[in-house]
Amino acid sequence: MGTIDNAAGVLAAEGGEGGFWQDAYPVIPHPGELIVGIISFAVLYFVYKRFVVPRLEAMLAERQRTIEGGIERAEAMQAEAKAALEQYRAQLAEARNEAAQIRDAARAEGQQIIEELRAQAQEESARIVARGEEQIAAARQQVVNELRGQIGTLAVDLAGRVVGESLADDARRQGTVDRFLDQLDGMSATDGRGGAVTVPGGNR
């Protein structure tokens, strides 16, 4: 504080030496400085108002637009992506559905084919079996018929050789032959083997 008082004292003491502006109170504005200040300020203000600030404002406005445009674009793209995703999901579900249907149909068809084949095979086998039986029966009948004829002749022949002429005119002996044949018939009917109808004197 002392120095400031001292400064004031010095200021007062030197009053006479310099010009008015050197010793003037510092709160008295120097006209030249005031004018230069106003002009500098005005010129700089003009430059800012005319060029600097409009450029900055234009840039800020453009940035704002860019940001807003970017947000809008992003939103649009998001919506589009969402729609595409929905579509893909729907398509996928549809495809899955379709695949399941195809699978079911194929399975059903396969089942049906198997059933058909099985039925066909059964029928076939039944048919084959039936034909075999038929053939067997036919062959047996044939053999029986053949044998019946041959055995009759053979038996008569054999009996004739054994007993001689007496056999031909004796009616009683005719009855014996018939009874024998009937017995043979009965035998072949019971055991069913055509081959078993052996003649007692078969091994000649």
* Residue 45 or 88 with smaller CB distance to another protein: 45
Cβ neighbour number for residue 199 with a 10 Å cutoff: 14
* DSSP 8-state class, residue 30: P
Residues numbered 154 to 183 that lie near another protein (CB under 8 A) are: none
Please give the angle made by the CA atoms of 180, 181 and 183, to the nearest 5 degrees: 65
* DSSP 8-state class, residue 192: -
The stretch near another protein (CB under 8 A) out of 18-26, 72-80, 82-90, 104-112 is 18-26
Would you state the structure tokens that stand for residue 37, as one six-digit string? 């200040």
Please report whether residue 71 would count as binding another protein according to CB under 8 A.
no
Q: Find the binder of another protein among 1, 25, 164, 192 (CB under 8 A).
A: 25
* Residue 32 or 186 with smaller CB distance to another protein: 32
Residues 6+ apart with CB under 8 A from 163: 173
The minimum distance between CB 56 and another protein, in angstroms, equals 6
Q: What is the largest CA-CA distance in the chain?
A: 208
Please report whether residue 16 would count as binding another protein according to CB under 8 A.
no
Residues numbered 49 to 68 that lie near another protein (CB under 8 A) are: 49, 51-53, 55-59, 62-63, 66
Phi, psi of 198 (to 5 degrees): -95, 140
* Residue 41 or 88 with smaller CB distance to another protein: 41
Q: Can you spell out the DSSP letters for 70-125?
A: HHHHHHHHHHHHHHHHHHHHHHHHHHHHHHHHHHHHHHHHHHHHHHHHHHHHHHHH
Please report whether residue 88 would count as binding another protein according to CB under 8 A.
no
Please report whether residue 69 would count as binding another protein according to CB under 8 A.
no
Please report whether residue 7 would count as binding another protein according to CB under 8 A.
yes
Residues found near another protein in the complex (CB under 8 A): 3-4, 6-8, 10-11, 14, 18-38, 40-45, 47-49, 51-53, 55-59, 62-63, 66
